[in-house]
Amino acid sequence: MSSIELILTEAEFLAQQCPKPNDTVLEQAIVGSLTGIVTYIKLANGEYQTLSRYEEDEWIFPASKGTKATTANHLKLNFATISDAQMKRMAKWVTWSKMKEGLAVSSQSSYLGSLKSYFQWVLNSDTTVTHGLTAFTSSAYVKHVNALTSKIKGEVKPLAPMTKTHKFIALEYLYLYCEAFDFVKEHPWTESSASEQAGMVSEASKEARTKPKTPIIPDDVLIPLCQFTKSYLDKADEILAVRDKLEVFVPTAKLASSRSAQKRNYLQTISTEYQKLDDLNDDLFVLRDSGIFWLLLTTGMRIHEVLGIKRGAYRSETKDDTTFYYIETVSEKTHTGLAEWIAPEIATKAIDILGRLSAPLQAQVERDLQKAQASNDHVEVHRLEEISDHICLSKNPTKGNQINLLSGIAITGFRLPNLCKQIDSDWNLAAHQFRRTFANYAVHSELGDLRALKDHFKHWSITMTALYAFNDELDAELFEELLREKYLIEEEIKQDWFELDTPITGGDTAQKIMQIREDGELIKAFGSHAAMVKAFTASIPIRSVGIGWCTNDDECKCGKPDSCESGIVDKRHAPYWTGMLVQQMKLLQLSVSDIGEAGIENVRKGMERCEKVLTALGFDVETMKQEINEREQIEVANV
């Protein structure tokens, strides 16, 4: 009888459970005599079902130990591919020790892969096998890894520093946990670290930790994606109505091909839009992907958190005439558990649509669950209970149409890129890009520069930041991401001010900045232009007033950054000033009888103000005015 079939009482389970790592247990691990249960399921009746034992070459983890994005294949650790007996024992001991420390399954799998790569390299050299883990052999392994390459989008590149770091940490784990094994002779690198060996040192290390690697989805990709996916959410009722009618249709033909023909013919009678079953299925997939798209975009969730959402798992509350929505799901990344995310109304609409879309699959889950309970298939019961009532279900045709949660890998690898194909974009869209994109737009909104998607983030403002800062139920790490993005954006804006070729205008603050950035002696004193900029900008607060920046920390509300002593206007605000110039030119066309002498005078002052700012920002105002007049004449002629 295999261990996966064993049902144990609590007493039997406790007697057979693999003990926690200690010196005695380590001795058993070294000689290969350690046995015991490593993974299991606790049943509703208090009994235990064994999934895997220490002495076995495959350890299977229950679904509850992975994130919602973890597939069944990624809930297994396979030691069988390690041919050397001692190396296999070391790999198991390291893995077991890290399990007891609470390391996630995905991380365990990653480090086990690094250990396997190292062991394979060792076995390829008789000399290295004889010497074991020493500083000398570790140095040779570093040279080997530094010579490795990877192919990214057809381009061959050296391994990234973080990838190399993970490979080198495996050697540190060997020394840390397996020093008692004969193979381990000494620390792989004295007075150094895995990250240093990988090239992540001093300033390079700091930059790698603080500078975001994940790209922000550009506007020319994001806006068409929003328009395309929103159109699918808007017609969800129509698509699902056709699907629901087709679901209850029962073909009478015996042959599969004939049944498909009957369903196609029936589809054509209930819909003028769909002539083929594949067309409807394609739209159902795109509708699902569109719902996931909007959840990722408007909440800042990770993909496994989106996959963990259940039907109706949101609430709302109204503060100061603004309604806030809160979505509940489980976060495994930081072991937070059940948590909430602030979201706009469209995210709750996406949840409802995804819930309706997956209703037939949920019905199948309930039927399968009853069968599994009747046959005492506890592993299947556990699996189905873990996915039941979730909005992101899928059917696996290769496993008898088994119902599973959607795969995070499939979403990032296939479904999100497919959305880009729908808008004829070659952008490599991935789930992790949404979190930083979300943070970037939210911060721009808070700074006042709402940009193209401001309507989609109606309540993302300082209020949102306050809610994240003082609400323990919300994703604290996302709040940190927002703050990090805010600092990056503010630093970028301030650094631009100090560039010689960047035109700025405004009051005393702007004038001082223009004087400082031309002072060669100051640059020498600080050592570099970058160091000087950091020194001067560290204490400058920044807040947008729409048409410029305010650097007054007392919340000045004069709204005149072009003349206020604390105001700065740069090229980011040129579109606003251009728009005001157009307005003033139109107003000048009015007569005195329309707006009076005082009105005419105010318009002239407004014109002078706009002209002054735009000239300071490097624009040829007379040419601009001529182009504006020509456009107006064309518009009038067309009317």
| pLDDT tens per residue across span 22-52 | 888 999 999 999 999 999 998 888 889 999 9
Residue found by looking up tokens 């010497």 in the block = 131
> Regarding predicted confidence, which is higher, 594 or 80?
80
Q: Tell me what pLDDT residue 491 has.
A: 78
pLDDT at residue 573 above 70? yes
Q: Tell me what pLDDT residue 493 has.
A: 84
Give the pLDDT band of residue 470 (cuts 50, 70, 90).
Answer: very low
| pLDDT tens per residue across span 175-201 | 999 999 999 999 999 778 888 888 875
Give the pLDDT band of residue 72 (cuts 50, 70, 90).
Answer: confident
Q: Tell me what pLDDT residue 479 has.
A: 63
Cα dihedral 17, 177, 208, 476 sign: positive
Contacts of 537-542 with CB under 8 Å at 24 or more apart are 537/491, 537/494, 537/495, 537/497, 537/498, 540/494, 540/509, 542/447, 542/490, 542/493, 542/494
Q: Tell me what pLDDT residue 481 has.
A: 67
Give the pLDDT band of residue 156 (cuts 50, 70, 90).
Answer: confident
In angstroms, the CA 385 to CA 256 distance is 32
Mean per-residue pLDDT for 477-499? 75
Q: Tell me what pLDDT residue 3 has.
A: 46
Of 541, 546, 550, 519, the residue nearest 532 (C-alpha): 519
Tokens of 604: 């002239």
Tokens of 429: 């869209």
Mean per-residue pLDDT for 2-24? 80
Of 97, 2, 101, 107, the residue nearest 57 (C-alpha): 2
Least confident interval from 254-268, 270-284, 405-419, 584-598: 584-598
Least confident interval from 151-165, 232-246, 364-378: 151-165
Q: Tell me what pLDDT residue 620 has.
A: 93
| pLDDT tens per residue across span 382-401 | 889 989 999 999 998 888 88
pLDDT at residue 451 above 60? no
Q: Tell me what pLDDT residue 312 has.
A: 92
* CA atoms lying within 13 Å on the CB side of residue 538: 6
Tokens of 234: 């808007």
Mean per-residue pLDDT for 518-534? 73
- The mean of the pLDDT values for the chain is 84
Q: Tell me what pLDDT residue 80 has.
A: 95
Q: Tell me what pLDDT residue 447 has.
A: 53
Q: Per-residue DSSP letters for 324-351?
A: EEEEEEEE-TTS-EEEEEEE-HHHHHHH
Least confident interval from 17-21, 166-170, 472-476: 472-476
Percent of the chain at pLDDT > 90 equals: 43
Least confident interval from 61-65, 200-204, 268-272, 389-393: 200-204
φ, ψ for residue 150, nearest 5 deg: -135, 155
Give the pLDDT band of residue 554 (cuts 50, 70, 90).
Answer: low
Three-state DSSP class for 551? coil
pLDDT at residue 444 above 80? no
Q: What's the whole-model pTM score? A: 0.64
Least confident interval from 51-55, 154-158, 270-274: 154-158
> Regarding predicted confidence, which is higher, 607 or 130?
607
Least confident interval from 172-176, 219-223, 561-565: 561-565
Mean per-residue pLDDT for 313-325? 85
> Regarding predicted confidence, which is higher, 291 or 475?
291
Q: Tell me what pLDDT residue 204 has.
A: 46
Q: Tell me what pLDDT residue 307 has.
A: 93
Q: How many CB atoms lie within 10 A of CB 425?
A: 18
In angstroms, the CA 573 to CA 549 distance is 9
